[in-house]
Chain A
Amino acid sequence: MSQPEIQGYLRPDGRYGIRNLVAVVATMDNAHPTARRIAQTVRGTVTICPGFGRAMMGEDAAQHFRTLTNMATNPNVFGAVVVGLDKKSSHDVAEAIAKTGRPVAAFPIEEVGGTVKATEQGARMAMQLCYDAARQRPVPMPWSEFVLGVECGGSDGSSGLVSNPATGAVADMVVDRGGTVIMSETVEMLGGEHLLAARASDPAVRDKLVKAVGFCVSYAAEHGIDLLGSNPTADNIEGGLSTIEEKALGAIKKGGTRPLMEVIDLGFRPTKKGYVIMDAPAPGVENISSLSAGGCQAIIFSTGKGNTSGHPISPTIKVSGNPFTVEAMRDNIDVDLSAVITRGMPLGEAAAKLEKELIDVIYGKPTSACLLGETEVAISRILRCL
């Protein structure tokens, strides 16, 4: 089968971005206002404001700064302005970004003398980065360099019938072209993990998957938590999903059908190509942030009841097969596949429509989340601060 040509911006680390973004990165919550002020001053820049960051400890701190840095060095990022309250966090994050060959500068608020000066200096740097980024031209990009994230949120009984299988069919296309697909949301594999385990490329991959899903069961039990109401959520339940198994059996369809090559931890980059699972929490914003840190240049976000979230770095395509949602939430849905239900459109045709949208987005078409600014970042916590 012929495959469409795609293009990207070649980075010094050898990766290709489908966007050429200048990111304004806050290392901690206390620097969010300055980061947002810089981004408001210099049009076209995007913020990475993930919350928390101050006085975090141990593996929680490691996860925060790894995920933050990997988002800031997503292939879609040309260069970055880093703001933090203190020197250490600002310089550490800037240094990690610089290691990938990207232009970056840090503006620690304590060091430069307050938020007004940090805004002024950060904005000048952001302007310069925008001028420099504009000189770069896209070049042909091999599919083997493309990493697609697949996500579902606001799921309902239609998700497993239409939008997830269509997303899965596009995922298979990407894998067959030599690319990589990352699926996540571990708890939403609970009840379908045997089907994923059977696709594992080797026993170690299978064991890691089974252990990750098992953790969700034991964690809920340990805390006396009934998943009903959390996962499935209240809107999932309203949409017809009765148990976590039912939700999971629909959700895993978004990962397609190809062999499972690797299971990676939250915020890490895959080391294998093909179908990969990232062990990360399911809520939309923290999950798409995890996927973006994993290096996804684009994310397909399947929804039933509707969901508005997109990632500022990784364009997030909303797809739904629910005829009521595509009408009621038209502004927030990019791809309407409701004809599968209303007119019997074959799933293959639905997948082709979704693939066309993905190619358009790779070539620069904005997603609704991007146009409306419905973009947000959150990094999952492991421990609390003291």
Chain B
Amino acid sequence: MPKFLVLDPKDNVAVAVEPAKGGEVAELSTGGSLTLNADVPFAHKTALAALKAGDKVVKYGEVIGAAYRDIKPGDHVHVHNIRSLRNEVKK
């Protein structure tokens, strides 16, 4: 089982410390486990909880951005579904 670190109790994402494939069951450092919906490369993130578009993403116990589409537990969390809250670009 690929290992994932939960860095802070407040976090809603966990970090892969080895490359993981969709369908595998991730072993969380907090003791639980989670089925992955997609591949999660080394040092990338997966969601621990369901996130609605606009929900804050928390890692290290701090806000790292917000979801811009709904995210399910076990999804790969990256630039395709979250973005910065500090860099607003006017289109």
Contacts and interface: CB of A to CB of B under 8 A. Distances in A.
Interface of A: 156-158, 160-161, 190-192, 195, 217, 220-221, 224-228, 237, 239-240, 242-246, 249-250, 304, 322, 324, 341
B84 A245 contact: yes
Given A157-B16, A341-B17, 12 more contacts: A157-B15, A158-B42, A220-B89, A227-B87, A228-B79, A228-B84, A240-B16, A240-B41, A242-B83, A245-B85, A249-B60, A322-B42
Nearest to A245: B64
9 contacts: A191-B86, A217-B86, A217-B87, A220-B89, A242-B64, A242-B82, A245-B62, A245-B64, A341-B17
A221 B84 CA distance: 13
Q: Closest 5 CB pairs between A and B?
A: A157-B43, A240-B44, A246-B64, A243-B65, A243-B84
A240 B62 contact: no
A244 B17 CA distance: 21
A224 B90 contact: yes
Most buried by A among B44, B84, B88: B84
A244 B86 contact: yes
B26 interface: no
Contacts of A156: 43
A224 B43 CA distance: 30
B79 A242 contact: yes
A157 B64 contact: no
Nearest to B42: A324
Contacts of B45: 157, 240, 242
A341 B16 CA distance: 10
B75 to A, nearest CB: 13
Nearest to A229: B79
Contacts of B82: 242-243
Contacts of A324: 42
B38 interface: no
A210 to B, nearest CB: 13
A156 B5 CA distance: 15
A224 B87 CA distance: 10
B87 A249 contact: no
B32 to A, nearest CB: 19
Contacts of A161: 5, 7, 15, 17, 43
A322 to B, nearest CB: 7
Contacts of A228: 79, 83-84, 87
Contacts of B62: 191-192, 195, 245, 249
A96 B59 CA distance: 48
A324 B16 CA distance: 14
Contact of A227 (B44, B64, B78, B84): B84
A125 to B, nearest CB: 50
A359 B86 CA distance: 39
Nearest to B45: A240
B88 A242 contact: no
B90 A245 contact: no
B36 to A, nearest CB: 15
Given A191-B86, A245-B86, A237 B79 contact: yes
Nearest to B17: A341
Contact of A240 (B7, B78, B85): B78
Contacts of B65: 242-243, 245-246
